[in-house]
Structure 1
Amino acid sequence: MTGGEAAALLGVKPQTLYTYVSRGAIKSLPAPRGREHLYLRADLEKLRARPRARHPLGAVAASAMYAGEPIIATSITEITSEGPRYRGRLAAELASAGLAFENVAEFLWTGELHDAEPVRWNLEPLPMEARRLTRALNGSRGYAPIAHIFSLFALSIGMARGSRVERLRSSSTVLAARQVIQAFAGCFGYLAPARAYVPCASAEPVAAAVLRASGVARSEEKLRLVNGLLVLLADHELSPATFAARVAASSGADLHACLVSAIEASSGRNIAEIYDRTEDFLRGAKSKAELMRRVRELQAVGRAPPGFNQPIYPRGDPRAPYIFELVRRAGRPSRHLDVVFDFLDEVDGQYELKPRMEFAVVALAQALGFPRRAAGGLYILARVAGWVAHVIEQRLSSALLRPRAKFVE
């Protein structure tokens, strides 16, 4: 079926149809002639049969395993119309208050919020295995996704702590988590021109370490912006990667194995690569008109522009405007951001496309001068805080997470 026929069958706008395609609910194929795409009728009928598929919020729950009914009880994060709440505290308020990412991370892990002064972590040195890894990767000119580099470091740090049983019995989860986050901050050096690991300094804020490793000149304004970004990204309830971490934890895996499960679950097209595609979409655009042209070109072939319309938030991802507001309040002049803001107003008015958090992170990272592909790395680094909290919580349950499948012919 053509795009127009498919949208009419579902009773939705073309933008909603593109959202279904981007989430894998509907498959599209290039038409034999022209630039249009065709959509599989079987997928459309299957989606149409669901009562909520015809509802404006249908994209929120296109399937039972994507944003459907809650399946795990948690006291860590709740998703609300105002964005995530960490243990009852709105993430945007924590970021606005200027709380250090370290304070928020330990709040997620322990349930205790220390807001009198910034928490500073002593340096947790890399073990010999991880130091060997830094030497092997330093100066490498081949492209390696930052997610895979993070996984290598997590595994090398974990293996240095002995067997799985030894790690579970003897290691402090909080100290181990600090060590991983500090190591990941240093890995941003592999994205910078020198392509080399940049170790954290003792008591150095994580946001400052990331800026330094990335080769971005530090200022108090940049530090506040990056720190606020990390706070907003720290957790988002039961995302696919978080679910993977909890499944691994329920099986008895150690912390580092759980983190690798989450990192690699994040590394694919539908999560971390959204940052990369959004970066490619924005890169080199000099005007609002040029970005609007790119949107029209994508929609002409049945594709949605990356970084828009988060189905969890049908009325718009509240984290994105908060990040943009942080930038505006900082008064940071940027031709790039001026173009982005003008474009967002235009694309919302014409196509009802609202930016996701990924779009805001990429726009901010580019404005601050971060190296290419740093935006996805910022997401993973920040989300380690949430994954650790979920691993800790899952370990308190003796249940093995083992969903059942419904066999169909």
Structure 2
Amino acid sequence: MADQQEAAPGRGGQRLSTRETAERLGVKPETVYAYVSRGQLTSRRTPGSRGSTFDAKEVEALARRVGRRESATPGSELAIRTGITLIDRDHCYFRGVDTSQLAAHYSYEEVAEWLWTGELRPGMRFTAPRDALSATQRAVEALPAHSGPMDRLRVGVIAAAAADPLRFDLSEDTVVDIARSLIPTLVDALPPHAPKSPADDALAARLWSRLTAEPATPEALRALDAALVLLIDHDLAASTLAVRVAASARAHPYAIVSAGFGALDGVLHGAASGLAHRMLAEVLDRGSAAAVVTDHLRAGRGVPGLGHPLYPGDDPRARTLFRLLEDVPRAHLALQAAREVITTTARHTELHANVDLALAVLTASTGMPTEAGETIFAIARTAGWIAHALEEYSESPLRLRPSGQYHGPRPPQRLP
């Protein structure tokens, strides 16, 4: 079998087979490919072999990172106590409530308010203050025409901060008030693609008009709103850790959101759905998932939208979003393309769809641009970042200050 091959030396040093890599990491072979799909490992096919090989040094580095996560204990610098999100047995929970159930019954604004305050307020709507929105719109409009949505969001949060003289008040009530106004300000400052229906002032409807000119059906809006709920938080992802560090230093809420945007701005995090969007568009254009998957694997890349290190089985967020997208007629072709990608890849190894693939089905089927998934992700996650900041503000300041392990030349050294 391919995974039973011997380790192959190459120009990059010793290379390990999939089986050897899985043994070194202490995981199943399918998890190795999940690491590849998330950009944490790079695979390469050796001439004359049917299996993938992995650079031994890269595997060792990943093993050390995984080992540190597993050895972390409460109170250490790698374990941060939180009461927001629990990921357990292929389920994701916000404050102990299944996120799929939350997405099925409540809007994004209702769930965000509940996470911040503990109170569920039916019909909750967020409104952008006139002064903050005006300042943010002027800043966004001053950007070059080729600027993308994330450029606008990053500039928008800075402009909104400058317009708020109370931004340094870190009391819980003020922070929550800032959150209620910042999120709609960021959405409403994005240039519209189509007029919003005056009868629908929900955040999902306003965001829809900023992402596509196609009319929104109730089923499509429901899927977008559910995506916003499902993406609010996901434990200590890279952007959330950045937010906690900033909040530990007592940065104000606008600054912690800026820290989150900075960490989010990468193909391995917030922009991952864009890769899946492009892949689905190519599958639809070429009419063959097999050809597209083959091209990705031949180039040594993982297949976008498949596998997640925290879920050995289905990503529950993808499962929920796929169900909702089945009720959206225009999404049927993209859904079929996504399923063909999953089926094709399953011939080699069992990898399950993650939320990036489901989000790509939504964006690719509704006339949204490639970067729309990242915009949805960023707006959704802002609510989770505020929840984490509220938690961190109640902890001792500057507690997230790890010590570096120096590996440079030992002093004294000569003056250069």
The answer to whether the Cα contact below 8 Å between 1:288 and 1:340 also exists between their aligned partners in 2 is: no
Aligned AA for 1:41?
A: A
- Return the offset for 1:327: 1.6
Superposed displacement of residue 380, structure 1: 0.7
SS in 1 for 2:250: coil
Q: Which 5+ residue runs of structure 1 have no aligned equivalent?
A: 51-60
CA distance in 2, matches of 1:153, 1:333: 31
How far apart in 1 are the matches of 2:253 and 2:155?
14
Correspondence for 2:124 among 119, 132, 141: 119
Shift of the 221–15 alpha-carbon distance from structure 1 to 2, 3 Å rule, reads same
Match of 2:297 among 296, 299, 311: 299
Asked whether the equivalents of residues 186 and 199 of structure 1 are also in contact (C-alpha less than 8 Å), the reply is: no
Distance 2:20 2:277 in 1: 33
Where does residue 385 of structure 1 map in the other structure?
Answer: 383
Distance 1:369 1:311, change over 3 A: same
Partner of residue 174, structure 2: 172
Q: What do the CA deviations read for 1:43-66 (whole angstroms, capped 9, x no partner)?
A: 335556x6xxxxxxxxxx735259
* Deviation of the 1:16 alpha carbon: 4.3
Residues 1:90 and 2:91 aligned together: no
Q: Compute the RMSD of aligned alpha carbons.
A: 3.5
Answer whether contact 1:27 1:40 (CA < 8 A) is retained: yes
The letter of the residue matching 2:202 is: P
Give 2:210's aligned residue.
213
Structure 1 position 189, deviation (Å): 2.8
Q: Compared with structure 1, are the counterparts of its residues 16 and 294 closer, same or farther at alpha carbon in structure 2 (3 Å cutoff)?
A: farther
The partner residue of 1:358 within 353, 356, 359 is 356
Asked if 2 retains the 8 angstrom alpha-carbon contact of 1:287 and 1:339, the reply is no
CA offsets 1:379-398 (integer angstroms, 9 cap, x no match): 11001110011111110112
1:6 aligns with 2:12: no
C-alpha offsets along residues 60-110 of structure 1, whole Å, 9 cap, x if unaligned?
x7352599666111111111224321112111001112x111100001111
Aligned AA (1:252) = R
Decide which of 223, 227, 230 is 2:228's aligned counterpart.
Answer: 230
CA distance in structure 2 between the aligned counterparts of 1:403 and 1:86, rounded to whole angstroms: 28
User: How far off its partner does 1:232 sit?
Assistant: 0.7
Cα distance in 1 for partners of 2:95, 2:298 equals: 44
1:347 shift after superposition? 2.6
| Structure 2 residue corresponding to 1:326, chosen from 324, 327, 338 | 324
Calculate the TM-score normalised by the size of structure 2. 0.81
CA deviation map 1:136-188 (0-9, x unaligned) = 13xx431x3422321111111101223864x4479822221122211222354
Residue range with higher mean Cα deviation, 329-338 or 309-318: 329-338
Matched-pair contact (CA < 8 Å) for 1:18–1:302: no
**Gaps (5+ residues) in structure 2?**
1-7, 409-416
Q: Equivalent residue for 1:56?
A: none
SS of equivalent residue, structure 1 residue 368:
coil
- Cα deviation for residue 31 of structure 1 reads 8.0
Distance 2:318 2:71 in 1: 20
1:202–1:403 CA distance, 2 compared to 1 (3 A): farther
Aligned pairs for 1:10-409 (under 5 A) are: 10-11=21-22, 16-21=31-36, 25-26=40-41, 39-45=54-60, 62-65=66-69, 71-97=79-105, 99-114=106-121, 117-127=122-132, 128-137=134-143, 140-142=144-146, 144-162=147-165, 165=168, 167-168=169-170, 172-189=174-191, 192=193, 204-214=201-211, 215-286=213-284, 290-329=288-327, 334-400=332-398, 401-408=400-407
- Distance in 2 between the 1:199 and 1:125 partners? 18
2:258 counterpart SS class: helix
Q: Distance in 1 between matches of 2:149 and 2:18?
A: 38
Aligned length: 386
1:283 alignment partner, SS class: helix
Change beyond 3 A, Cα 1:122–1:299: closer
SS of 2:126's partner is coil
Mark the CA change 1:300 to 1:2 in structure 2 (over 3 Å): closer, same or farther.
farther
Query: In structure 1, what residue type is equivalent to 2:93?
Result: R
1:361, distance to aligned residue in structure 2 (A) = 0.5
- Letter in structure 2 aligned against 1:133: A
Could you give the per-residue CA deviations for residues 318-361 of structure 1, whole angstroms, max 9, x where no partner exists? 21111111122456663232232333234335431211111111
SS in 2 for 1:398: coil
Q: Is the 8 A contact 2:330 2:365 kept in 1?
A: no
C-alpha deviation, 1:224, in angstroms: 1.1
Distance (Å, rounded) in 2 between the aligned partners of 1:301 and 1:35 = 14
Give the conservation status (yes or no) of the 8 Å contact 2:16–2:54.
no
Letter paired with 2:59: L
Distance 1:67 1:248, change over 3 A: farther
Moved more, 10-19 or 250-259: 10-19
- Which amino acid in the other structure matches residue 150 of structure 1? L
State the partner residue of 2:414: none
For 2:291 and 2:210, locate their aligned partners in 1 and report how far apart those are by CA, in whole Å. Answer: 35
